[in-house]
Amino acid sequence: MPIPLFAPYPEGRPRRLRRDGFIRNLVCEHHLSAHDLIDPVFIVEGTNQRQPVASMPGVFRLSIDHVLLRAQECVELGIPVMALFPVIDPALKTPDGREALRGEGLVPRTVRALKGAFPQLGVMVDVALDPYTSHGQDGLIDAQSHVLNDATVDVLVRQALVLADAGADIVAPSDMMDGRIKAIRQALEAHHFVDTRILAYSAKYASALYGPFRDAVGSAAQLGSADKKSYQMDPANTDEAMREVAMDIAEGADMVLVKPGLAYLDVVYRVKTTFRVPTFAYQVSGEYAMIEAAARQGWIDRDAVMLETLLSCKRAGADAVVSYFSLDAARLLAGVGSAL
C-alpha cells in the first residue's frame, strides 16, 4: 500500500507534529510497556545463590529463593512472563541429556515454586537438551557427532511433558529439530495439557551473538570448537525463515520467535506481516553485552539505548521481547529509575 504524502512545503510541515510533547505522544505509532517484556532468568541449585555472569554485567545466576524475589518484582512491575534457563551441574550432564527428563530436576522444581507463589505470573521454559548434554549440542548425537533429528524429537517430547506436568504455562522448543512442534503438540493433547502453550523458536539463527549465554549456562565448555550450523539457520537466509515459521504454525505453535532480535529485525517484520500470528523477538546475550560494554565505557547512554532497541523490536512487529534488560526497562517505564 503506498504511503500517503504530506502536502509540499510550506503547506506541509511535518515538524508541526514534533514540536511539543503532547502532540508527539498523540501521534506516536508504537509503544513499549512492561506488558511487552519477557524476563529471562538463569537458575542454579542451592540457596542464597546470586552468581554474577562475567560476560553479562548486571546478570546473575539465581537459586530458587532469589528467583522468587525477582518474580515478585516482575509481578509488581507488570512483566507478564518469566523464562527459565537452567545451569546444570556438569556431573549431571550426559550424552543423552537424561537430567532433562527428571521430574524433580532444577527446572520443574523452580516452575512449581513460581506457580505456587505467583500463579498470575506466566512461566516459560526452554525445551532443548544443550544445558544437559555432555557435548553441548541441542540433541542426541551419533558416532560422527551429527545431531540426530528424530531421536532428539522423542526426547524433547518427554521433556516437554515433564515441564507441562510441573505447571509451565509455555513450553518453548529452541532446538530447531524438524517436526518437533507437531510431536510436542500431539503429546500435550494426548496427556490433557490442552492449555499449555507452545512458543516455537521458529527462526533461530546460527549466530555469533550467543557466546555470553553459553557462558552463563555452562554449555560453552562442552560445545568446544563445535558449532550448531547443521540445525540452526544460516544468517544469510530469510525465505527459509518463512518456511520454518509456516511449518511450525501448521504443526500447532501458538506463538513464534525470531532469535536473535536486533540483527534480524527484517525477519521479525517479514514474519509478522506475512503470518499475522503472535511474534516474539529475543534480544540475545551478545546484544545485551555490547550495549552494557559500550555504556560502561561512557560511549552511549545506556538507558536510552536500552529503551530504543526494545522499541525497535516492537516497531518491526514483535508483540513481545525476551530481554535481559526487562526489569530495568520496566522500572524506567514505570518512572522508578534503573537498577544500574
Mean pLDDT within 257-264? 97
User: Tell me, what's the pLDDT at 214?
Assistant: 85
What is the pLDDT, as a whole number, of residue 301? 98
Average pLDDT, the chain: 94
Q: What is the DSSP letter of 92?
A: G
| Residue 337 pLDDT greater than 70, yes or no | no
Give the integer Cα–Cα distance in Å for 238 and 244: 10
In this predicted structure, what is the pLDDT of residue 116? 98
Contact between residue 62 and residue 86 where contact means Cβ atoms under 8 Å apart: no
| Per-residue pLDDT at 1 | 59
What does the pLDDT average to over 295-316? Answer: 97
The CATH architecture to which 34-334 belongs is Alpha-Beta Barrel (3.20)
Residue 189 has pLDDT above 50, yes or no: yes
Dist CA 229 CA 207 (whole Å): 9
Please tell me the predicted confidence (pLDDT) of residue 4.
Answer: 67
Q: From residue 223, how far is each of 41, 84, 123, 137, 197 by CA, in Å?
A: 21, 21, 28, 7, 30
Q: For cell 555472569, what's the residue?
A: 53
Q: In whole angstroms, what separates CA 210 from the centre of its chain? A: 12
Q: Give the Å distances, CA to CA, from 34 to 12, 71, 89, 174.
A: 36, 14, 33, 24
Segment among 75-79, 101-105, 226-230, 260-264 with least mean pLDDT: 226-230
pLDDT of residue 339: 41
Residue 314 bears catalytic tag? no
Q: Report strand pairing: 320-323 vs 279-283.
A: parallel
Decide: pTM greater than 0.85. Answer: yes
Rounded to whole angstroms, how far apart are CA atoms 302 and 54? Answer: 18
78: buried, middle or exposed (CB in 10 Å: 19+, 13-18, 0-12)?
middle
**Position 338 confidence tier, pLDDT thresholds 50, 70, 90:** very low
What pLDDT shows up at residue 218? 76
Q: Is residue 276 over pLDDT 90?
A: yes
pLDDT tens-digit series, residues 278-287: 999 999 999 9
pLDDT in tens, 174-183: 999 999 999 9
Whole-number percent of the chain with pLDDT over 70: 96
Length of the chain (residues): 340
Catalytic residue among 204, 228, 272, 314: 204
Q: Are 42 and 62 in contact (CB under 8 A)?
A: yes
- DSSP structure class, residue 169: S
- Buried b or exposed e, range 84-97, using 16+ CB within 10 angstroms: bbbbbeeebbeebb
Q: Is the backbone of residue 296 left (phi > 0), alpha (psi -120 to 50) or beta?
A: alpha
Q: Which of 93, 228, 259, 314 is catalytic?
A: 259
Q: Is 93 a catalytic residue?
A: no
Cβ proximity of 51 and 44 under 8 Å: yes
Cβ neighbours around 8 below 10 Å, total = 7
pLDDT digits (tens, 9 = 90+) for 194-247: 999 999 999 999 999 998 888 888 776 677 778 999 999 999 999 999 999 999
- Known binding residue 29? Answer is no
